[in-house]
Amino acid sequence: MNRVTLCIVVLFILALALSLPGWLSKEEVKIDSQTEDAWVPNYQASNMRSTLYNKLGQINHQVFAKKMENFDLLGFTLFKQPEYLLFAQSLHPWRVDAQEGTLYEDQRIQFETNVEITSLDEEGYIKVIRTHFVEVNLADKTMYSDQAVEIIGPNYVIKSNGFTASLETQRYELLDHVKTVYQPSMQR
């Protein structure tokens, strides 16, 4: 073995010997208390009822829930069995019922599991919308879903894979229309 090879081997062994204790020692896992605290709700409520008004003093929306948990550090609020009443410029509100709901700081609320959106307008052309997921933007009063949707009107049932809607303009768009069944009412 020549001197160059011997020097390289000695340097390699020296570097290995210096770094070996660092590899063999166990690192203590430090739990960030702020991360742990983030999963603890800031406050909770049972059988919650809340009403939010707009700048003109009109009701913007009302929420009722069996249980509510606010996670301030994470930026969202969880609802169990929420019932939301959404008031648009029209006089007739919409009621959204679901098993779960999540309200985010940017005024979006996502409803999941057995979602039923009911128009409280007796004469509206859409009575009920059923799906497993819908996202409602409370600021601009729009709805969006990419899941299977059933839209029920006075004489029809529409099935689609997703929809968008504006509660202000009463405009609805099907993302992937599947089927429509029309049954005119019989007049006597």
pLDDT above 60: residue 33 = no
Calculate the alpha carbon distances from 156 to 38, 40, 80 in Å. 47, 46, 31
The region of weakest confidence among 38-47, 76-85, 139-148, 165-174 is 38-47
Q: What is the pLDDT of residue 56?
A: 81
Label residue 186 by pLDDT band (50, 70, 90): very low
CATH topology of domain 34-182: lipopolysaccharide transport protein A fold (2.60.450)
Torsion angle (degrees, nearest 10) of CA 159, 118, 135, 171:
70
Q: What is the pLDDT of residue 187?
A: 47
pLDDT digits (tens, 9 = 90+) for 76-130: 899 999 998 888 766 678 899 999 999 998 989 999 999 999 988 887 788 999 9
Q: What is the pLDDT of residue 38?
A: 65
Q: What residues are paired with 16 via a beta bridge?
A: none
Calculate the alpha carbon distances from 186 to 67, 110, 155, 183 in Å. 44, 39, 10, 9
Q: What is the pLDDT of residue 30?
A: 61
pLDDT digits (tens, 9 = 90+) for 40-52: 778 888 998 988 8
pLDDT above 90: residue 145 = yes
Q: What is the pLDDT of residue 159?
A: 92
